[in-house]
Amino acid sequence: MVAEKYSTRSAGASGDYVKGAQETTKDQAAAAIAAFEITKQATIAALNEGRQVKGLQKSGKGGWLKGVVDVGGGRYAEGVGQAGPSYAAESGRFDSARASSASMPRGLKGSPQNLAKVAKVVSEQIRVKTGRA
């Protein structure tokens, strides 16, 4: 009875959720930034106490798979689709880094030539990310 009521009421409250977010005067990003240290401490405490492992052991692979099948599968395409423009913008910042190794020769898997290509891309990414010339 309680679970059914919870599901029914929460499904009908999605409009209230959006409206509340649109009408709030609180800055959620600023609040999250202000809470960074306590979040970090709580996360470290949870890891040190093994709470993450206990939760994973409780749900197991079956719990994860149920979440993927029941919820994640339906949300995956929507989430990826919505993230497309942001992904393109962020990824595009590193196009020059990826292109920087295009003219370098390829070798067998794990070869010095391939590692040199990777090093070139990484050094270019660092340059782009930090704004160094």
- Give the pLDDT of residue 91: 83
- Give the pLDDT of residue 55: 94
- Give the pLDDT of residue 11: 75
- Give the pLDDT of residue 26: 95
pTM: 0.50
Q: What angle do CA 126, 127, 128 make, to 5 degrees?
A: 90
**Chain-centre distance for alpha carbon 71:** 17
- Give the pLDDT of residue 31: 96
**Cα(81)–Cα(90) distance, integer angstroms:** 15
What does the pLDDT profile of the chain (133 residues) look like in tens digits? 777 777 777 777 888 889 999 999 999 999 999 999 999 999 999 999 999 999 999 999 999 999 999 999 989 888 888 888 888 888 887 888 888 888 899 999 999 999 999 999 899 888 877 877 5
